Structure 1
Amino acid sequence: MLIEAARAVRENAHAPYSRFKVGAAVLAADGKVYVGCNVENIASPEGTCAEAGAIAAMVAAGQREITEVAVIADGPEPVTPCGGCRQKLAEFAGAHVKVTMATLSGTTRVMTVGELLPGAFSVAQMGER
């Protein structure tokens, strides 16, 4: 379900410079799927990653908890979220949340948010406020 949603939205990516389209889908605690695709900008690095777009759509809908993630791109191996998106995922998903990364040809790799970003920065590290 999530991989299919990510695959569909990937087609909407705006990637005229890299020609590397990425799609992402997050399943929120409300049971709804929110999607995003990468949006490049000539004024690099002002673009937006697919994962960030999916998270923004989820938050705009009033949700704050991710229960599963899927990311798809056309590469020889499944692509992992970039470092910034790993931290963004950790903001809304527990370390146990499954992240499925896939290629268009069907190769998949599954990791958890905690495996993708061990030692994630969290509010606990900020001390009392």
Structure 2
Amino acid sequence: MLRIAAGVMVGIVLWGALAVGLDFCLRTGWPDYAAVEKAMAFTVPMMLARLAESTLALLVASWAMTRIAPGSRVAPWIVGIVLLAFFVPVHYGLWTKFPIWYHAYFLSSLLALPLIVATASGTKREAAAA
């Protein structure tokens, strides 16, 4: 139980830290992105970059979660549901700023990626044990 709680906390906090860090890199390395960030007037490549940074952060955070709570079936669900519960209201407020495909990918990835990583991690452990 303690490992599950620790895995969930690490997954959520690490996702946030990585997303903020990657966004900082995006802002400093892409002046055009930094210029439109406050207005959220992103081009399609900028939106794809934002989704890529979130995906990368979530993959790493989910991997860390599975290392702390290996084999847990509930930890990835909790991480996904907590992130989804936090970001649904945020994206509701941003609904007109982004196209539907952006919201659909981002919100669905919050639930899907932790589950995919946990499943893949379990599959690798089972194969190694065989």
Give the TM-score normalised by the residue count of structure 1. Answer: 0.31
Kindly indicate whether structure 1 or structure 2 has the higher relative contact order, using CA contacts under 8 Å at least 6 residues apart. Answer: 2
Structure with higher strand content: 1
Highest Rg: 1 or 2?
A: 2
